Structure 1
Amino acid sequence: MKRFFLFFIPVIACLTSCDVVQYVTVPVNYGPKTGFSLDTSTIVVVNKFNADTLSKVKDPRRVNVLKKMGVTALTTAANQLKFLPRVGIINLVDSVTYLPNDDSVKFLAKKYKANYVLVLNDVSAGVYTETSYNQGMAYTYYATKVKTRFALYESNGIYSKKLNGMAEVPQDEAYNGGFSSLFYRPTYRSSIPALSRATADATLDAFKDYLPYSITNDRPLYGGGDMLESSVAHIKAGKFDLAFNILNPLIDGPDKKLASKAAYNLAVVYEAQGDIEEALKTAKISNDKNRNDFANALIVDLMKE
């Protein structure tokens, strides 16, 4: 099982139960969930997205922004896929005039002797208000949301797989509330950086099953008491075997609250080692022993991962 180094920021907090809680940053790496053929695969990348035909978009500035977003999406996909083993990319995207390609998938596959043809069918964007909460205080901000819709065709032009992605990026402009905010939205010019980032992120989301990726999670750990404090110290040091030897016996002990905390800490250990299935199973045990917010949040995250 692959091991990871942990970089941590110790934080002391007192919850309603006055538990001592410290935080640790857990990086987790994931390999691709699927791939292409075992032999060398050639993928032709083309643009089928035509922003000029969108009946709901009348503003030429917005149309032009959408065209650029389409190129960003396709370029991001091509640049990521070309680093996969035994994958070759032929990029036919017009990054100057943004014109869509009208050739059939079957024709392109035959012309370039490709195994697959990747096309962008649509990209859409919008700016919305979102609200987050920090220590009971609400903060409302503008966020750019982007959706990308790709299709990966086999060379026969008949069989295809939809690859849709979505991403959200906060805007720099703050939402100030009040009557005037009902009519204010960030300008096209100020939105371009967020749109570009969100488009790239939405593309990565669409291809997440084909690409390796990593995430980092700030996980709270239960301290308090010699056993739990000792486990926290070992987890921070990356000594997972020692942490396991401390925590595992506590899970079946008579103290349900202590068992729940031990199971939660052990679930974080499993996540740090990349064993998401065992981490989810142990987080659920923590909740069964004594329902708690830490386990609930971890379960939600692990189910997404």
Structure 2
Amino acid sequence: MKLLKLICILFIAGLTSCNVVQYATVPVDYAPKLVFRTDTARILVVNHVVFDSTRMNKRKIMALKAAAYSAITGAEKELKLLPGVKISSIVDSVSFSANKDSVKHLAAKYKANYVLTLDAFNAGLVLDNVQYDGNAQIAYYSTKATVAFTLHESNGIFFKKFKGIATEPQDGRFGYSIDGAARNAALDALKDYLPYTITNYRPLYNQSDQLALSVRQILAGRFDVAFKVLNPIIDGPDPKQASRAAYNLAVVYEAQGDIDEALDLAKLSNQKQQNDYATTLIAALIKE
């Protein structure tokens, strides 16, 4: 059972009154879209990237090598957390030289089921905007990184290509670092193999004593009590209250991970009486 937290947003109307909208924080866990073919996947990580010394100075190449290595280690760290995945690497963090051996040879040599190669990497500063403070100009930058991986099977024939991109705001007062963007770009590239969580913020109806009681139960994680409060209202004679109760109950089911039941309740809410909360929830649940 997931714990829901209370978020209150105050909308100030004039100087004397305000309306409090209560939100439930509903985390939704997503399983990886892709899985490895073997129960124990031994993945060898290899660098194929070569930086052109005729087009870049030594300092820039060193910075790019360090960031590319951060991208690789970030990918390794997340992949290691997957069940049955074992990671080994032959990437030299000092020279960061490209390995030219065949994938099939490396897989056999290191007894790997898969070989993950870093094929391309680039990163740098991007100007976001310029603001004027009196007579001074203040420039705001982000670091941007792009990566390309290929996941080869041990036979060297079958493979999948992945590309990732990430940006990270920077505060120039403390210098600039592209490592964070590099790691996030690697995770973006491999996201289909990684589980992730999205947190949804669902507004709740509380404009009656019974609805307010249901909100308190939902926010406390007492979903069984909330169900007992809301179910009679859904079957009651007031279509407006029934619609709102059905919506609140849809949030309860979403919080418990029952997306199908949550979608049915959100649709029932709109059938009882059309409302924006249910319409928005229906669209979100279809995507989930």
Normalised by the length of structure 2, the TM-score is: 0.77
Report if the CA contact (8 A) 2:10-2:19 is conserved.
no
Offset from partner CA, 1:111-132 (integer Å, 9 cap, x none): 11211001112233452537xx
> What is the total number of aligned residue pairs between the two structures?
274
2:145 alignment partner, SS class: strand
Report whether the alignment pairs 1:190 with 2:179: no
Work out which of the residue numbers 274, 281, 284 in structure 2 matches 1:290: 274
- For structure 2, the 5+ residue unaligned runs are 130-138
Q: 1:219 aligns with which of 189, 202, 205?
A: 202
Aligned position for 2:133: none
Determine the C-alpha separation between the residues in 2 that align with 1:256 and 1:285: 11
User: Any stretches of 5+ residues in structure 1 without a counterpart?
Assistant: 131-139, 174-185
| Matched residue, 1:271 | 254
Aligned twin of 2:217: 234
Residue pair 2:43, 2:114 contacting (<8 A) in 1 also: yes
Which residue does 2:157 correspond to in 1? 158
Partner of 1:102: 100
Q: CA RMSD in A?
A: 3.5
SS of structure 1 residue aligned to 2:175:
helix
Amino acid aligned to 1:90 = S
Aligned-pair identity (%)? 52
TM-score scaled to structure 1, two decimals? 0.73
Residues 140-192 of structure 1 deviation map (CA, whole Å, 9 limit, x = unaligned): 9644343332211111111112233333323335xxxxxxxxxxxx9xx8330
1:23 maps to 23
- The alpha-carbon distance between structure 1 residues 73 and 284, as it changes in their structure 2 partners (threshold 3 A), is farther
2:66 matched residue in structure 1: 68
2:79 corresponds in structure 1 to 81
1:248–1:116 distance in 2 versus 1, CA, 3 Å: farther
Matching residue of 1:9: 7
Residue 91 (structure 1) aligned to one of 89, 92, 95: 89
Q: For residues 103-182 of structure 1, what are the structure 2 equivalents within 5 Å?
A: 103-125=101-123, 127-129=126-128, 142-172=141-171
* Mapped partners of 2:175, 2:286: distance in 1: 35
Deviations, residues 230-272 of structure 1 (Å, cap 9, x unaligned):
2211111101122234345555766555455334433332332
CA distance in 1, matches of 2:222, 2:255: 11
Mapped contact 1:118–1:151 kept (Cα < 8 A): yes
- For residues 124 and 283 of structure 1, the distance between their equivalents in structure 2, rounded to whole angstroms, comes to 45
**How far apart, in 1, do the equivalents of 2:51 and 2:283 lie?**
37
